[in-house]
Amino acid sequence: MADKILNKIYVKVWRQNSPKAKGRFETYTVENVSQGTSFLEMIDILNDQLILGGKDPIAFDNDCREGICGMCSLYVNGHAHGPDTMATTCQLHMRKFNEGQTITVEPWRVGAFPVIKDLMVDRTAFEKIQQAGGFVSVNTGGVPDGNAIPILQDDAEEAMDAAACIGCGACAATCKNSSAMLFLAAKVSQFAKLPQGQVEAKRRAKAMVAKMDELGFGGCTNTGACELACPKSISIAHIARLNREYLKAKIAD
């Protein structure tokens, strides 16, 4: 249980004061970090150091710190969310790093996610994709009983697999094309598997893909990097379903 102490590590961080400002890397030294500390807590320690030293702390997004809100978004040493698998940055611990190591921390590099400050990026583009069609058009009230339409257990499970997406953007951040296809597929596939979602499946697939293209995300070239980087391990099989839904909709036009 007793975790080792890292006497000294070097953290190379992207600093950029505002969206338009020119950014640069700064390297900081952090001492005496327990390997049981989470990565973001290590940044907390570093920030405390910076504030006490009269410097501006590093801005980074984080909130729930338990891997579900999708707010944290750091690219650490060549990996979206760092070198741990099936984990968000907030679930990454210092056990994954060694004494004296230099850790490079960058913001998501996606054209559609401009940097706001330091490691914070603007993921409004994801919101716009959801707003384009990531819903079932029902108003509150006047819906049938929850058990009125039976749903095959396997379908419900597969819908849930897709619905597990936390919208963090690691898929687009890691994709060499900055493609948002896995993010989009997760929503389209969830609804395609459920009778409630099938009603407007065609409209949804077309609208969401068109929005993704419009916002400047790249296309999918099936490298599969997204599913490896995804903290929820959402399978690219959902992308196949999105493609199918999209083609069905387009052919019908």
Partner 1 sequence: MSILNSKIPEGPISQKWSNHKEKIKVVSPNNKRKLEVIVIGTGLAGASAAASLSELGYNVKAFCYQDSPRRAHSIAAQGGINAAKNYQNDNDSVYRLFYDTVKGGDYRSRESNVYRLAEVSPNIIDQCVAQGVPFAREYGGLLSNRSFGGVLVSRTFYARGQTGQQLLLGAYSALNRQIAEGGVKMYTRHEMIDLVTIDGKARGIIARDMVTGEVKRFGAHAVVIASGGYTNVYFLSTNAMGCNVSASWVCYKKGAFFANPCYVQIHPTCIPVHGSQQSKLTLMSESLRNDGRVWTPKKKEDAEKLRKGIIGPNDITDTDRDFYLERRYPSYGNLVPRDVASRAAKERCDAGFGVNSEGKAVFLDFKYSIERLGRHTIEKRYGNLFQMYEKITDVDPYTQPMQIYPAIHYAMGGTWVDYNLMTTIPGLYAIGEANFSDHGANRLGASALMQGLADGYFVLPYTIGDYLANEIMVPKIDTNRPEFIEAENNVVARLENLFNIKGKTPVDHFHKKLGQIMWDNVGMARNAEGLTKAIKEIQELRKEFYKDLLVPGEMKNVNPELEKAGRVADFIELGELLARDALNRNESCGGHFREESATEEGEAKRDDVNYAYVAAWEFKGIDSEPVLHKEDLFFETIQLTQRSYK
Partner 2 sequence: MSNFLSASIGRKVFMSLTGLFLISFLLIHLTLNLFLIFDDSGNLFNQAAHFMATNPMIRIVEPILALGFIIHIIWSGWITLENMKARPQGYASGDKLLKWWEPSKNMFILGGMIFIFLVLHILNFWVKMKITGDPLLDQANGTGEEMHNAYALVSNLFINNPLYDIIYMIGGIFVGLHITHGFWSAFQTIGLSNINWMKRLKFVANLIGFVFAIGFSSIPLYFLIKF
Which CB, 120 or 212, lies closer to partner 2? 212
By CB neighbour count within 10 A (0-12 exposed, 13-18 middle, 19+ buried), where does 5 fall? middle
If contact means CB under 5 to 8 A according to the sort of partner, which of partner 1, partner 2, none does residue 65 touch? partner 1
Question: By C-alpha distance, which of 138, 139, 114 is closest to 126?
Answer: 114
- With tokens 């999105």, the residue in question is 242
Q: Which of 191, 220, 227, 230 binds partner 1 (CB under 8 A)?
A: 191
Query: For residues 70 and 163, what is the distance between their CA atoms, to the nearest angstrom?
Result: 13
- Contact set for partner 2, span 125-144 (CB under 8 A): none
Alpha-carbon separation of residue 82 from 19, 126, 192, 234 (angstroms): 24, 22, 32, 17
CA 43 – CA 145 distance, rounded (Å): 48
Q: Which residues of 208-243 are buried (b: 16+ CB within 10 A; e: fewer)?
A: bbebbeebebbebeeeebbbbbbbbebbbebbebbb
> Measured from the CB of residue 249, what is the shortest distance to partner 2 in angstroms?
10
For residues 19 and 219, which CB has a smaller minimum distance to partner 1 in the complex?
Answer: 19
Residue 124 near partner 1 by CB under 8 A: yes
Asked if residue 117 binds partner 1 (CB under 8 A), the reply is: yes
Decide which of partner 1, partner 2, none touches 236; Cβ closer than 5 to 8 Å per partner kind. partner 2
Which residues contact residue 135 at a Cβ distance below 8 angstroms, ignoring those fewer than 6 apart?
none
Q: Is 209 in the site for partner 2 (CB under 8 A)?
A: yes
Q: Which does 231 bind (CB under 5 to 8 A by kind): partner 1, partner 2, none?
A: none
Q: How far is the CB of 160 from partner 1 (least distance, A)?
A: 4
Could you say whether residue 159 binds partner 1 (CB under 8 A)?
yes
* Site residues for partner 2 per CB under 8 A: 14, 25, 75-80, 83, 104, 106, 109-112, 174, 176-179, 181, 209-210, 212-213, 216-225, 228-229, 235-237, 239-248, 250-251, 253
